[in-house]
C-alpha cells in the first residue's frame, strides 16, 4: 500500500491500485526522511546500472517534546530542528518521501461480501469504527484485496484495511515544509523495507521485525502484498532507562542483567503473540524466517537468541546487493542496515517508482 500526498491538496485517502502496484503523482526524489521518536534519519540514493547507489546520509537526535506515542505533536519545532540538518546537507528545496510511524497507522483484516472497490472501501471503513480512535471523517485510509473466498455462504473477499488520522499527514507536511523539503509521497515504513528486501518469491513470506526506540513493528508480506502488521512496545526505551543513554547495544550482554532478561521475556511474549495472530489467518503459510532491523537489531546476540526461542531463522538485515556503497561508507554498514533501512527504502521509492 502506498499513501500519496498531492502537492496542492493532500488526499484524505490512502491510494493504490488493486494489484499492490504504485501510483505516481509526479516525478519524486531520491531522498527519504524517517522520523523516529529517538532519531531522525535522512538518506539519498541514485539509480545506477546495477540498481541503486547510496549518495549520502545523515541523522540527528529527535528533539524532546515533539513526538508523543509516535505522533507528531509539535510540527513547527520539529520542522525547524530538521531544517538545520537539511541546510547542512545542501538539500534545501529538494523533494522528499517520508512515512507515518507505525503507531499512527491502524490495521485489520476484514472478510466482506464480494463487491466493487468503492463499496468495499465503504464497508471496511464502517467496520473500522469499532477500533479506530478517531472519527471516521478524520480518517485517511485504504483497502487491499488479499484473496477470494468461496464457501456455503457465497463468494467473499478478504481485505487488508489501513488507516491513519489525516491530521498526522498535515503535521508531516508542515514539518517538511519548515525543514525546507517538498513532501511528495507519504507511505508506511514496512513498504519501504519491502521494496528493497523482499525475496520476490510468490510462495514465500517476507517478514520484518523492526525494533525502534519505543515500539517494534511486525510485518508480513507476500511479494508486494502486506498481509499483516502489528506494533507493540519495544525493549529499547526500558533498556536505556536501566543502562543509560551512552550504552552501545553491540556490547550489551542481556544474560548478565536480570532486569534486561525480564525486558526481553516481555518482548518475546509479544513477538510470539504476533506469530500466533498471523498463523490462524494464513494456515498454509508458515513463517520460517524473520528479518531483524531497527536500532534494537544492533543488540549483541539478539538475532541468535530470537532464532533459538522462536524456532525460526532470524538474521539481522544486511544492505541489499542492489545497493552500491561508496568505499567511504563501508565503516557504517551496520548502522546503515539497522538504523537507516527505512530511510533508504523511502529514498528508493523516488527512483524505482
Residue 301 above 50 pLDDT?
yes
Residues of the chain with CATH 3.30.420.40: 199-316
Which tens digit of pLDDT belongs to each residue from 137-174? Answer: 998 888 888 888 877 677 898 888 888 899 999 999 99
Q: Are strands 206-211 and 291-293 parallel, antiparallel or unpaired?
A: parallel
Closest Cα to residue 99, out of 32, 148, 47? 32
User: Using an 8 Å Cβ cutoff, are 191 and 219 in contact?
Assistant: no
Closest Cα to residue 38, out of 257, 218, 298? 298
Q: Number of H helices and number of E strands within the chain? A: 9, 16
pLDDT value of position 1: 35
User: Using an 8 Å Cβ cutoff, are 42 and 343 in contact?
Assistant: yes
pLDDT value of position 202: 65
C-alpha cell at 22: 504504485
Distance separating alpha carbons of residues 254 and 277, to the nearest angstrom: 27
Residue 3 above 90 pLDDT?
no
Q: Which fold has domain 105-165?
A: Dna Ligase; domain 1 (3.30.1490)
pLDDT, average across residues 299-319? 91
Q: Which CATH class is domain 199-316?
A: alpha beta
Residues of the chain with CATH 3.30.1490.300: 105-165
User: Using an 8 Å Cβ cutoff, are 314 and 289 in contact?
Assistant: yes
The predicted model scores a pTM of 0.84
Amino acid at each position: 500500500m502506498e499513501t500519496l500526498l498531492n502537492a496542492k491538496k493532500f488526499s484524505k485517502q490512502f491510494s493504490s491500485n488493486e494489484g499492490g502496484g504504485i501510483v505516481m503523482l509526479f516525478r519524486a526524489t531520491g531522498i527519504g526522511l524517517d522520523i523516529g521518536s529517538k532519531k531522525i534519519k535522512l538518506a539519498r540514493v541514485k539509480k545506477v546500472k546495477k540498481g541503486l547507489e547510496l549518495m549520502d546520509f545523515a541523522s540527528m537526535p529527535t528533539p524532546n517534546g515533539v513526538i508523543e506515542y509516535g505522533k507528531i505533536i509539535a510540527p513547527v519545532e520539529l520542522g525547524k530542528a530538521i531544517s538545520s540538518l537539511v541546510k547542512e546537507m545542501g538539500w534545501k528545496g529538494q523533494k522528499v518521501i517520508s512515512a507515518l510511524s507505525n503507531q499512527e497507522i491502524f490495521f485489520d483484516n476484514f472478510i466482506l461480501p464480494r463487491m466493487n472497490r468503492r463499496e468495499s472501501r465503504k464497508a471496511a471503513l464502517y467496520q473500522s469504527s469499532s477500533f479506530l480512535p478517531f472519527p471516521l471523517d478524520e480518517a485517511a485510509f485504504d483497502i487491499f484485496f488479499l484473496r477470494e473466498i468461496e464457501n456455503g455462504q457465497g463468494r467473499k473477499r478478504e481485505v487488508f484495511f489501513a488507516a491513519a488520522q489525516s491530521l498526522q499527514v498535515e503535521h508531516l507536511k508542515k514539518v517538511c515544509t519548515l525543514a525546507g523539503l517538498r513532501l511528495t509521497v507519504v507511505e508506511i515504513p514496512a513498504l519501504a523495507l519491502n521494496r528493497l528486501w523482499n525475496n520476490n518469491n510468490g510462495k514465500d513470506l517476507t517478514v520484518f521485525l523492526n525494533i525502534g526506540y519505543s515500539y517494534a513493528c511486525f510485518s508480513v508480506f507476500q511479494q508486494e502484498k502486506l498481509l499483516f502488521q502489528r506494533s507493540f512496545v519495544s525493549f529499547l526505551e526500558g533498556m536505556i532507562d536501566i543502562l543509560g543513554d551512552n550504552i552501545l547495544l553491540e556490547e550489551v550482554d542481556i544474560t548478565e542483567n536480570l532486569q534486561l532478561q525480564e525486558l526481553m521475556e516481555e518482548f518475546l511474549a509479544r513477538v510470539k503473540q504476533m506469530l500466533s495472530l498471523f498463523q490462524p489467518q494464513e494456515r498454509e503459510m508458515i513463517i520460517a524466517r524473520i528479518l531483524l532491523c531497527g536500532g534494537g537489531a544492533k543488540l549483541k546476540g539478539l538475532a541468535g537468541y530470537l532464532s533459538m526461542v522462536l524456532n525460526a531463522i532470524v538474521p539481522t538485515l544486511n544492505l541489499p546487493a542492489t545497493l552500491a556503497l561508496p568505499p567511504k561508507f563501508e565503516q557504517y554498514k551496520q548502522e546503515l542496515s539497522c538504523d537507516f533501512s527505512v530511510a533508504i527504502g523511502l529514498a528508493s521509492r523516488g527512483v524505482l517508482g
